[in-house]
Structure 1
């Protein structure tokens, strides 16, 4: 499973215990997540941001977008958020991640390219 697959799976995990486990496996303990709506540090806070996104968009799922590129310890990718089976995403984002030596995410810088009006 690729980094983006694991990342999207964590954002789609609705069970709080399974989500906490996914976050712990994917992010370092001191990882940061920053986007226009949040700036948090640590597993519990990252899991809470994910839960908040799910609450804001019930019934929607995250999927990988068209862009994925990586070099050294940095990766960038796009993602979509939409109801299952929708033709167009409600939200389109672009994330840049910095990886730690163990391959886990140390930092996420998120951008929202498309949001609902």
Structure 2
């Protein structure tokens, strides 16, 4: 579980070229992502979404909050987004569903705390 969460957060933190490699390695080509603010599909859709988050929160990083939990092909975990080493400005909770190869196929995101 930790490996999947680490790869997921690394993808959200990566620069575009590295992100493409991480998407190819850890995400199914037909990945779907849904949260209260976005719904995208495929590597290109997720790549564009991450670019948008980087533009909205320059210099912020995603970090794990607490320990992941999972069963079968599902993993849930909480994450924070904020300046490195500081209290996260945003806290969210994601559930990922893995495909048969162990790659992330679906992401269901929830936002627990967002700035005003």
Q: Distance in 2 between matches of 1:12 and 1:28?
A: 19
Counting matched residue pairs gives: 115
How large is the Cα RMSD of the aligned pairs? 1.0
Alpha carbons 1:67, 1:76 under 8 Å: kept: no
**Aligned-partner SS, 2:101:** coil
Query: Could you list the runs of 4 or more consecutive aligned residues of structure 1 that deviate by over 4 angstroms after TM superposition?
Result: none
Q: Distance in 1 between matches of 2:29 and 2:84?
A: 32
2:11 matched residue in structure 1: 10
- Measured after TM superposition, the shift of residue 2 of structure 1 is 0.8
Q: Distance in 1 between matches of 2:49 and 2:23?
A: 11
1:116 matched residue in structure 2: 115
2:65 matched residue in structure 1: 65
Q: Which runs of 5+ in 1 are unaligned?
A: none
**Aligned-partner SS, 1:49:** helix
- Measured after TM superposition, the shift of residue 18 of structure 1 is 1.3
1:13-47: CA deviation from partner (whole Å, max 9, x where unpaired): 02x12111111111101110001111011001101
Q: Which runs of 5+ in 2 are unaligned?
A: none
